[in-house]
Structure 1
Amino acid sequence: MLIWKGYGFLAFLVFLMSFLVVELAVGEAFYRTHRWVDFFGFVISALFCYFVGKKLNNNKGKVYIDKKTGEEVLIKKTHSLFFIKMEYWGIIFLVIGCIYLFLYIQVVKAFY
């Protein structure tokens, strides 16, 4: 696919689902008044993408021999979203979550 390869689409789905899990865990009223809990949604998606991506992209692949040239060609299946491997999305989600939390704290300080 143009947007994802393999199971790379799971990075986006888990990102969306992690916020739903956080909202269900803390309750809708608390979630709407305390937006800092969104950070845990970023952490859940980051952990999932990093560890599952590492596991999926850690395959050895297959070696084929080209009949014309005699060269060995390694074919590996990768799992990526927007040309970024799934385990790197875990790092991206964690960095975005930290930035989000920092900016949220700055906004709260400005109003109180």
Structure 2
Amino acid sequence: MLIWKGYGFLAFLFFLTSFLIVELAVGETFYRAHRWLDFFAFVITALFCYFVGKKLNNNKGKVYIDKKTGEEVLIKTTHSLFFIKMEYWGFIFLVIGFIYLFLYLQVDKLIH
């Protein structure tokens, strides 16, 4: 695919699922009143992306021999989203979570 390779689409599913998990864990009304809880959803997403991506992209691959040149060619499946390996999305989501939390706290100071 152009957008993802292998199971890279799981990063997006982890993102959606983690927000649902946090909302169900604390309740809808509490969640809507305390949007800083989104930070925990970003952390959950980051953990899933990193560990699942590390496991999926840790495959050895297969070695084939090119008949014309006799060279060995390594064929390895990668799992990525927007050309970024899935385990790196873990770091990206973590950084986005910290930025979101920082901005939320800044806006909250202005309001209150």
Fold shared by both chains (TM-score > 0.5): yes
Interval containing the TM-score (normalised by the shorter chain):
over 0.9
When the two structures are aligned, how many residues end up with a matched partner?
A: 112
C-alpha distance after superposition, 1:12-53 (max 9, x if no partner): 011001000000000011001100000010000000000000
Q: 2:4 is matched by which residue type in structure 1?
A: W
CA deviation profile, 1:86-109 (whole Å, cap 9, x unmatched) = 001111000000000000010111
Name 2:48's counterpart in structure 1: 48
Q: Give 1:32's aligned residue.
A: 32
What is the deviation of 1:78? Answer: 0.5
TM-score, with structure 1 as normaliser: 0.98
Tell me the equivalent position of 2:89: 89
Counterpart-to-counterpart distance in 2, 1:29 and 1:61:
48
1:7 aligned partner: 7
Q: Which 4+ stretches in 1 moved above 2 angstroms?
A: none
- Does residue 73 of structure 1 match 2:73? yes
Q: Secondary structure at the match of 2:68?
A: coil
Q: Distance in 2 between matches of 1:58 and 1:23?
A: 32
